[in-house]
Amino acid sequence: MAAIGLERICKSFGGTRVLRDVTLAIRDGEFLTLVGPSGCGKSTLLRIIAGLERQDSGSVTIGQRRVDGVRPSERGVAMVFQSYALYPHLTVARNIATPLEMQRLTLLERLPLLRLLSPRRRRIMRGIMAEVEAVAAALQLEGLLGRKPAELSGGQRQRVALGRAMVRRPDAFLMDEPLSNLDAKLRVHMRGELADLHRRLGATFVYVTHDQTEAMTMSDRVALMLEGRIEQLGTPAELYDAPRTLAVASFIGSPP
Ligand code: ADP
Ligand code: MG
């Protein structure tokens, strides 16, 4: 688990200010959702936490550590995207295993020819596959480990993408609209699964969506973003019952 601190984050793209002085303290183990209309800066903020984008000013803390300048793979967070970005030619098992293979195998051991010959590689891969199986069991993917992504449903693919994040045992999961490619019925189902997964893992979840229903049903707290700022931060009930501005009320759909 990791608390995540954002301190006065500013970001512009080509003279357009996208994030305006964003300060936010995300608690250890909470499910925090960044919600807001398209273009308000949610993905940019998440990418800055992940280290995929660099802020112009301000600082990011993960756990006890200032991570400005720390590489994405060293931050202890894992990102789950809406486009699952699975490798089409690899099985489900290998798709989930990939981050561990990158960590633990040498470049030579990852080459097709040499990997057949190396006993060290075989030993490491056995360990990795045991971890993959544990993750697959947690996500109910056990029977699908030998399939290719094209042989899976959208929901199953999304679970594989989650598995690939989980296998690294990150302290925090960063999810950018992970359900938006699913049909409506499956989306509702997966909301429940994600909330459940959050309870079981006890990890910090930072979840991005433009869908206020999703935000209101899944989150411990919601940060509503408008035009690069956090307009209001609170529990779903607080935002619904006591919207601080008209803009919050109209986005959340509170009664006037
Ligand atoms: P959201 O995820 O809330 O829809 P984004 O963070 O993706 O919003 O984008 C916020 C604004 O920043 C948008 O106007 C978008 O066009 C712009 N933007 C995002 N990334 C880039 C980029 N790499 N280059 C230029 N403009 C960008
Ligand atoms: Mg986005």
ipTM at complex level? 0.98
Question: CA 13 to CA 164: how far, in whole Å?
Answer: 31
C-alpha 42/C-alpha 230 separation (Å) is 10
Q: Which ligand is nearest the CA of 82, by number?
A: 2
Q: How would you write the pLDDT of the chain (256 residues) with one tens digit per residue?
A: 679 999 999 999 999 999 999 999 999 999 999 999 999 999 999 999 999 999 999 999 999 899 999 999 899 999 998 767 899 999 999 999 999 999 899 888 888 776 667 888 889 999 999 999 999 998 889 899 999 999 998 889 989 999 999 999 999 999 999 888 888 888 898 899 899 999 988 999 999 999 999 999 999 999 999 999 999 999 999 999 999 999 999 998 877 6
Residue 4's closest CA among 248, 171, 149? 171
Q: How far is the CA of 44 from the centre of ligand 1 (A)?
A: 6
C-beta separation of 173 from 206 below 8 A: yes
How far does residue 211's CA lie from ligand 2's centre (Å)? 11
Closest atom of ligand 1 relative to the 37 alpha carbon: 3
Ligand showing the shortest atom-to-Cα distance for residue 37:
1
The Cα 208–Cα 175 span in angstroms is 6
> Which atom of ligand 1 is closest in space to residue 34's alpha carbon?
3
pLDDT score of 243: 95
pLDDT score of 256: 67
Task: Give the closest residue to 66 by CA, choosing from 125, 123, 7.
Answer: 7
Whole-number Cα distances in Å, 84 to 154, 171, 178, 221, 238: 9, 20, 8, 25, 33
Within 6 A (CB) of ligand 1 lie 13, 18, 36, 38-44
Residue 51 CA to ligand 1 centre (angstroms): 16
- Alpha carbon of 231 to ligand 1 centroid (Å): 18
Give the atom of ligand 1 at the shortest distance from the alpha carbon of 41. 6
How far does the centroid of ligand 1 lie from the alpha carbon of residue 190, in Å? 26
Nearest C-alpha neighbor of 104 from the set 85, 88, 127:
127
Q: Which protein residue's CA is at the shortest distance from atom 16 of ligand 1? A: 39
For residue 44, the ligand 1 atom closest to its alpha carbon is 6
